[in-house]
Amino acid sequence: MPIRKIQNRGTGRLRLMDKKYVWHPFTQMKDYSGSSPLIIARGKGSFIYDTEGNRYIDGVSSLWVNVHGHGKKKIDGAIISQVKKISHSTLLGLSNEPAVRLAEKLVKISPKGLAKVFYSDNGSTAVEIALKISYQYWQQKSKATKKKKKFVCLANAYHGDTIGAVSVGGIKLFHEIYKPMLFTTFKAKSPFCYRCSARETDYKCSLECLNSLESILKKHHGEIAAFIVEPMVQGAAGMIVFPKGFLREARNLCLRHNVLFIADEVAVGFGRTGKMFACEHENVRPDLMALAKGITGGTLPLAATLATDEIYQAFLGEVRETKTFYHGHTYTGNPVACAASIASLEIFEEEKVLKLLQRKIEFLENRLKNFYSLNHVGDIRQCGFMVGIELVENKKTRKPFPVKKTIGHRVILEARKRGVVIRPLGDVIVLMPPLSISVKELETLLEVVFESIKVVTEG
Ligand SMILES: Cc1ncc(COP(=O)(O)O)c(C=O)c1O
């Protein structure tokens, strides 16, 4: 009891200081300052604990990053042992052991053709790098390709918050205000089956959503450097899962029209969709692939952009030819983060993570079917361990709830009262637990979310 009191006093002060000094991302601070935010003190396995000693299931893997659970001994050990050697040295003109070893590992597990690893430290920079590499590639490849300067992306896309990444994004709420700062892009239709107009009629999907990408590529391929896509699932848009064949066909269209294909695997990579990389679902081999989030098992910031050898070759030449890729962040290839990532990849192998995951994916799929019994669950979208439960005012017409009702936010507050931390995307309830979660913990997570949706939407 006395301990609890001391902890409570500490929490109160931390909350005050938090509100006084910290500006939180994607957060309306006016609301936040009137709330009682959790202050997370520690984590173990699938759980996070606040400063008052309360335990919560980490239902979104601390923003889609955690893979093997919190406090994973092997990763923590790798970090500590690397810190004892050196915490940072630059990759500009020098190298370090973990960065080299990790690059080899990443190339070995990535889709065939990807041969070179360019490090950075977050998903947005990994995307910026892919965009800049593809742009520069065509500039340096030949005189005939110099006009290829533009990008195609999908409506509803999210590729990060830096200006290049926002330029290839398509989420109005996040991106609209920055429009005058952005470079213009071609936006192809998003394959959003739940809100597909073709579905209203006698529905048989023939991937009509691909037509807009095809016509953009047909008409403008001479000026397009690359197409960028979140393979299989548009995450931030509300877990929009692609219909079968969409990714494969999009890849084929790019090949046919001589446009580079950038796979943004930042959210979907490292087992999240049930395969190591989401591109594997449709045997897609990208020209460039952006990785971050789960790359260190959710411990330290690290990112990588992988490229084919063909792309890499276009950057080779005499210094005076200025073909160098003049890009590099200070903490690029940080040895501690790379050591963590190596340990995480070893765990994938040693603990047969992907094999064990399949049973949990099936369990999740079966249990999620029950959610349709709720009056306001319109759509359930799942790809492996990525789930979006869309809540609507009217199931029949698929009419959304009015924004001002903040249904999604209210559901997550209910879940928090019941010991689960999740985060919504509007009125889409997102479930992204660590891949290591046990079936029993998964069951609790689902029960709590079911109950929370029921209380908010039917209560
Ligand atoms: C698909 C995708 N790309 C890029 C990013 C940006 O990553 P970061 O937040 O690490 O910059 C995100 C983040 O959610 C993402 O989901």
Among the atoms of ligand 1, which is closest to the Cα of residue 127? 4
Domain's final residue, options 320, 350, 380: 350
Nearest CA to ligand 1 atom 13: 160
**What does the pLDDT average to over 284-310?**
98
Residues 405 and 339 in one domain: no
* Closest ligand 1 atom number to CA of residue 234: 1
Atom of ligand 1 nearest to the CA of 123: 7
Q: Could you tell me the residue range of the domain that residue 147 belongs to?
A: 74-350
Lowest mean pLDDT among 5-19, 49-63, 181-195, 289-303: 5-19
Instruction: For residues 195 and 184, give the distance between their C-alpha atoms in angstroms, rounded to a whole number.
Output: 26
Closest listed residue to residue 260, CA positions, set 232, 228, 282: 228
Q: What whole-number distance in Å separates Cα of residue 204 and Cα of residue 196?
A: 11
Residue 1 has pLDDT above 60, yes or no: no
**332 C-alpha vs ligand 1 centroid, how far in Å?**
17
Write the residue with the smallest CA distance to atom 16 of ligand 1.
Answer: 267
| pLDDT over 70 at 202, yes or no | no
Q: Is the pLDDT of residue 5 over 50?
A: no
Answer yes or no: are the C-beta atoms of 336 and 87 closer than 8 Å: yes
Element (H, E) at 141: helix 123-141
Last residue of a domain, one of 325, 350, 375: 350
C-alpha 122 – ligand 1 centre gap (Å): 7
Cα(354) to centroid(ligand 1), Å: 22
- Asked if 346 and 359 sit in the same domain, the reply is no
Same domain? For 361 and 215 the reply is no
Same domain, 314 and 214: yes
Determine the pLDDT at residue 3. Answer: 41
425 found inside a domain: yes
Task: Single out the residue of 423, 438, 432 nearest to residue 270, CA to CA.
Answer: 432
> Do 78 and 52 lie in a common domain?
no
Structure tokens that stand for 374 in this block = 């709720």
Does residue 449 fall inside a structural domain?
Answer: yes
Average pLDDT over residues 405-418: 97
Ligand 1 binding pocket mutation candidate from 233, 266, 425, 428 (most atoms within 8 A of CB)? 266
Strands 399-400 and 288-291: unpaired
435 with 65: CB under 8 angstroms?
A: no
Q: 170 alpha carbon to ligand 1 midpoint, in Å?
A: 13
Answer for the pair 56, 50: CB distance below 8 angstroms, yes or no. yes
Q: Are 418 and 448 in contact (CB under 8 A)?
A: yes
Domain check: are 140 and 227 in the same one? yes
The ligand 1 atom nearest the CA atom of 64: 14
- Please check whether residue 75 is in contact with residue 300, taking contact to mean a CB–CB distance below 8 angstroms: no
Report pLDDT for 6: 44
pLDDT interval class at 175 (50, 70, 90): confident
Q: How many CA atoms lie within 13 A of 250 on its CB side?
A: 35
The span from the CA of 427 to the CA of 140, in Å, is 45
* Residue 26 located in a structural domain: no
Q: Is residue 305 part of a domain?
A: yes
Ligand 1: nearest atom to the Cα of 292: 10
8 A C-beta contact, residue 4 and residue 387: no
Among 204-213, 227-236, 269-278, 287-296, the minimum mean pLDDT is found in 204-213
Centre of ligand 1 from the C-alpha of residue 172, in Å: 16
Distance (Å, whole) CA 321 – CA 208: 45
Q: pLDDT value at position 39? A: 97
| Cα distances (Å, whole numbers) of residue 290 to 135, 136, 278 | 15, 17, 12
Instruction: Determine the Cα–Cα distance for residues 108 and 102; give it in Å rounded to an integer.
Output: 10
User: What is the predicted pLDDT for the residue at 9?
Assistant: 59
- What lies within 8 Å, CB to CB, of 254 at 6+ separation is 217, 227, 260, 261
Report the pocket of ligand 1 as residue ranges, CB < 6 Å. Answer: 122-124, 127, 158-160, 230, 235-236, 264, 266-267, 292
Atom from ligand 1 closest to the CA of residue 293: 10
**Mutation probe of ligand 1 site: the residue of 24, 125, 153, 158 with most atoms within 8 A of C-beta:** 158
Same-domain status, 43 and 146 = no
Residue 235 has pLDDT above 60, yes or no: yes
Q: Can you name the residues that pair with 262 across neighbouring β-strands?
A: 228, 288
Site to substitute for ligand 1 among 162, 175, 293, most atoms within 8 A of C-beta: 293
Report the chain's mean pLDDT, rounded to a whole number.
95
Flag whether 185 is in a domain: yes
Residue 64 shares a structural domain with residue 113? no
Which segments within 184-265 are labelled E, that is strand?
186-188, 224-229, 233-234, 240-241, 260-264
pLDDT at 197: 78
Q: How many CB atoms lie within 10 A of CB 24?
A: 11
Q: How far is the CA of 59 from the centre of ligand 1 (A)?
A: 18
Here the tokens at position 45 are 């396995």
Q: Is residue 5 part of a domain?
A: no
Assess whether 44 and 88 both reside in one domain: no
Q: Say whether both 145 and 175 belong to one domain.
A: yes
One domain, residues 123 and 166: yes
CATH of the domain at 449: 3.90.1150.10
Give the confidence band of 347 by pLDDT, cuts at 50, 70, 90: very high
CA of 85 to the centre of ligand 1 (A): 31
Ligand 1 atom 7 nearest Cα: 123
Within 8 A by CB and 6+ apart from 263, the residues are 111, 229, 231, 277, 278, 279, 284, 286, 288, 289, 290
CATH of the domain at 272: 3.40.640.10
This model's pTM is above 0.85: yes
Q: Is residue 29 part of a domain?
A: no
Contact between 182 and 160 (Cβ < 8 Å): no
Confidence category of residue 198, pLDDT binned at 50, 70, 90: confident
Both tokens of 162, joined, read 């830096």
Give the Å distance between the CA of 319 and the centre of ligand 1. 33
Compute, in angstroms, the gap from residue 273 CA to the centroid of ligand 1. 16
The one-letter code for the residue type at 85 is K
Average pLDDT over residues 206-218: 94
3-state secondary structure of 134: helix
Q: What is the band of 201 on the pLDDT scale with cuts at 50, 70, 90? A: low
Protein residue with its CA nearest to atom 10 in ligand 1: 123
Predicted local distance difference test score (pLDDT) of residue 200: 62
Q: Tell me, yes or no, whether 25 lies in a domain.
A: no
pLDDT at 127: 98
| Residue whose CA lies nearest to ligand 1 atom number 2 | 159
Please give the backbone phi and psi of residue 398, each rounded to the nearest 5 degrees, phi first.
Answer: 65, 25
Average of per-residue pLDDT across 93-115:
98
| Ligand 1 centroid, distance to 355 Cα (angstroms) | 26
Report the C-alpha gap between 307 and 392 in whole angstroms.
41
Q: How many domains does the chain have?
A: 2
Picking from 350, 370, 391, the residue at the C-terminal end of a domain is 350
User: Measuring CA to CA, how many Å separate 348 from each of 76, 186, 271, 295?
Assistant: 15, 38, 9, 11
Q: Is 316 in the same domain as 358?
A: no
230 alpha carbon – ligand 1 mean position (Å): 10
Q: What is the pLDDT of residue 425?
A: 97
Question: Residues near 181 by Cβ (< 8 Å), separated by ≥ 6?
Answer: 163
66, 124, 228, best to mutate for ligand 1 pocket (most atoms within 8 Å of CB): 124
Find, among 246, 173, 240, the residue nearest to 211 by Cα. 246
CB 101 within 8 A of CB 342: yes
